[in-house]
Structure formats: structure tokens, C-alpha cells
Amino acid sequence: MDIPFLKNFAAQTNFDVTNPLFHNEVKELAQRWLPQFRLHENELFHPISINQVLYTGRTNVNTQWWLEDRDGCLTSPWVLFKSHGDKESLNFNPSYAPNSKFNSTKITRKSYFTNLNENNYDIAKELFGSKEKYSNMQLPRFPGVIMGEFRSLLETLYHNLIAYVDYSDNLYDNDEERVLDEIIGPPIFGEKKAEWRKLLELVEMERLGQREGSTSRTYNNLLNSLIEDGVITEIEWEIIRFYGFLEYYLCYEYNDWSAHQIDIFANEHEGDVEGCCLVFNLNSIRAVYKKTEEETQREIILSTLKPDFIMTSAHNEGNNLDEIKDLRGLPEDQILSELKVWVSLGSHASYLSGAGTHDTVPGLELGASIAAGITCLIFPPACLVALLIALLCKGAPEDETSNNGVFMTSDPGSSSSPKIVPVQVETTPLSADLNMYQERFEGDFGMETSVNLAERVYPGLWGGNDGTINYSSSFTNKTKRYIHKLRWFFENTSYPGEVY
């Protein structure tokens, strides 16, 4: 990870993924349309900022929380290891600026940050777990923080492709086949690297308005070629052209899903990054530009913008648990009432489908039962094994959501109930007028966001784990995942207000 090079990359490419919005306008949208997040009454860990994860409880040196390195010497209160296989500490002097701590060419996607000494999870629980109850529900221990990031999909794809095509020698991780910058994120389209330059050419033509007129034939031939080669579908290209994603990220210090499960599939780990996404039509945003000359008028009209969809992410994309709700055509007051996200106990997976039990491996229990029945009929000697497998599948992990815990919102109104918890929205600067790569933006506390560039682009895992597999999250954008869900929606029939 080379922070100076990333800053130079952004300057060379005129980094701006929020166009046509300025940073202050992104902040306004993120605050205005923040959904209400409903957490389970037994939830011990609530969304906080990365800054809180890094520095909570450590304003003074307290050796109780300091850790020993492999030579038995005390090291800083948190440790950044090179990888699970190589426990080389990449820590720097704790007095250094955070950018210095995370700016190391040794940092890769295999690196991981931890507050723990081996598997001692009592430290994380003691530092971050809820300590107070009200009416049988756990209350957040720290002020709630949710991060908002707006991405125009066309501009995002442009910078995504520029990084992969023109800067791969400096930014590319050959082992992981991804750019070492979680703002830019993974390649949005496919594995056909030879076609990325052609896709970049199409994106550049779209950005220059060359879809019509004398260049239309070249544009259409290029698009048809990419579709025929399986690089992009027609629906995906329309999504890229017309939409922007307002992505909300909820960061948790700890995931104790296994504490609420009896199966063999769940585990405990530090570092959980979950979230949801609102979809805005860029044509509606561009219309604001055409209608206004004065900034004051622009602000008034900007406030009338409404999201077309809301999407949530749950566990891995392959679990097929992500949900989407169509908000188009609904009046503003109904949209506001529809913007509710249920956060599952322990795993923090997000759902739109309300309180209750959510099967995290859909059809597993039924499929195993049917397979066991068929096996017993066709091959009786294997019946006992088949029944045992079916029994184990009955313990497949489930998510529990509830209306009985705290409701986290940016606008608690006049309510004084402990159940209604205000949350701060920190909007990551990704605009031309202000973005994290600029020299004048250092991510100082209280300036836009408490997360600095080196922490936000850090490609490794935000935690250790208690088993052989680390399920801790990295903080990569979920843009590609949300594009897939929106594509699925347009490929299927729908009704406004329904959850899919």
C-alpha cells in the first residue's frame, strides 16, 4: 500500500466518483435519506466508526490492554500482522500519525488488524460490548456512527478501469488479482482483462456524450462487441449509465454470531462491515443543474430528489440473501416509512423483510431431508449416515431480527425514549471539490470523517478470528454486489413496495 502513489493516481485521473454531486450535496442526501436501523434487543455490539475501533480506551497507556509480540515485548494496543501465516507485526510507533501506521508496502489483503492476543476475545468484549440495559434491551456503549459513500456508477467504473488498465504495476496485487485500494474496489466487470481497455473506451465515449451524432455507429459497435464477448450485458450498461449508489456502511468491532447458534457453521471474529444501499437516478440529479442557477435554489430542488430502490446485503453474495425494494412512484412520506433495515443478532446481516427468523442457507434443511429419504429407499445401508446429515442440516445457521431492540436514526425527533438512538452519518469525501486523496484533506478528527485515507483504503481484514478460517470483513465497497442485485431485479418482474 503506497499512500503517496494513491494520491498521485487520484490527481492524475481527476478523481471524482460523485459527479454530478458536490461533497456537501452528498452529505445532504446521506443525512436526509438514512434508513432507520432496527437492532435486536440482545445485540451487544452496535455500529461505530473505525476511529473508535482503533483508539477507544487508549488515550492513556494502560498495560492491561497492551499486547506481547512473539519476543515477549509489549507492543502498541493494537497489532497489524502481515498475515495469519506470517505473524510479523507491521506496527509503527503509536505516536505516529494514523496514515503512517497503515502506509506500508508489506500490507496486502492477507494482513489483519487485531485488538486480541491470539484468541483472547475477552479484551474486545470488555472494550466494546454493551454494558447497559433498558427495558430488557441492550443499549449502545458508544455514539452510533454510520458511513455514507455516494458513487455515480459511470464515474466509478471509469476510475475502476483506469486503475486496472493503466496503473496495474503500482496498484495491482497479483496474488489476489485486485487493486490495493478499497475505495476503487474489485474489478466491477468480469475476468476478461483483455477486454477492459475496450470497455474503458466505451466509458470514455459515454462520458464525452458521444452516444449520439457522428460517433454513434462507433459507440454502438463497441457496445455490441462487448455484449457479444460477454464482458457486459445491455441491462448492466443501462444501470451504469443511469444510476448512482448511496452506500451506507455499518462497522462493528465484533461478530459473536456463534454465541447465538448451536450449529457448526458460525464463528466469532473481530471486524464486521455490513450495510445497505439507496439507488438514485442520475437523470433526476442532472435535472437539478438545468433548473437552477443560484446555489440556494439548487439546494431546494435537491431536497426533492427521491431514491428509486433500497438494497441490503447479508453474509456472502453467494448465499443469495441480498434484498431489494422498489420505491419508484411512491410518495415521499411513504418512502421514508419504507426505509427500515433490520440488523440480525450477532452476524449483523441486513434485511428489508422485517423482524423474524431468516434462513441463511435457503433450502438446505428441506433438500437434506429429501435426499435422506431417497437414500434410505434406494440404498438402505447408507440410511443412517444420510439421516445424520439431515439432522445436522436442521442446525444450519439462522439470522434473528427483532423490533424490540434500539432503533438507530439520524432524526430522533422529539423522542426522549432510550429506544430511539441518534446516529451520526460520516460521509466519505469522494468528490472533485473534496476527496480523501487530496493533500488538503488529512482526515483530522472532526473534519468530514474520522477515517483517514490510509485506514479507508487499507485492503486487509479488520480483525482476527477464533478458528481456522477468518471471517472478518475487509472494508471494500459493495458496489459490484449491488449492481448484480439491481441487474437481477430488472431481469424479473416486480411491484413497487415489494421486497425481493
Phi and psi at residue 185, to the nearest 5°? 80, -175
User: CA 261 from chain center: how many Å?
Assistant: 24
Torsion angle in degrees (nearest 10) through CA of 93, 95, 96, 101: 60
**What residue has cell string 447465538?**
260
pLDDT in tens, the chain (500 residues): 677 888 888 999 999 999 999 898 899 899 989 999 999 999 999 998 887 777 664 433 333 333 333 444 444 456 666 666 666 666 544 444 444 556 666 777 778 777 665 555 566 677 788 888 988 899 998 889 999 999 999 999 999 999 888 887 777 776 666 677 888 888 888 777 778 899 999 999 999 988 888 888 999 999 999 999 888 999 999 999 999 999 999 998 888 887 777 655 556 788 889 999 999 999 888 887 665 555 556 666 666 789 999 999 988 888 888 999 999 988 888 888 889 999 999 889 999 988 988 887 665 555 445 554 565 667 666 656 544 554 555 556 788 999 999 999 987 766 678 888 899 999 999 999 998 888 766 544 445 677 778 788 888 888 776 555 667 788 889 999 999 999 999 988 766 566 67
Which class for 403: exposed (0-12), middle (13-18), buried (19 or more C-beta within 10 A)?
middle
The cell for 386 is: 444420510
pTM for this prediction: 0.86
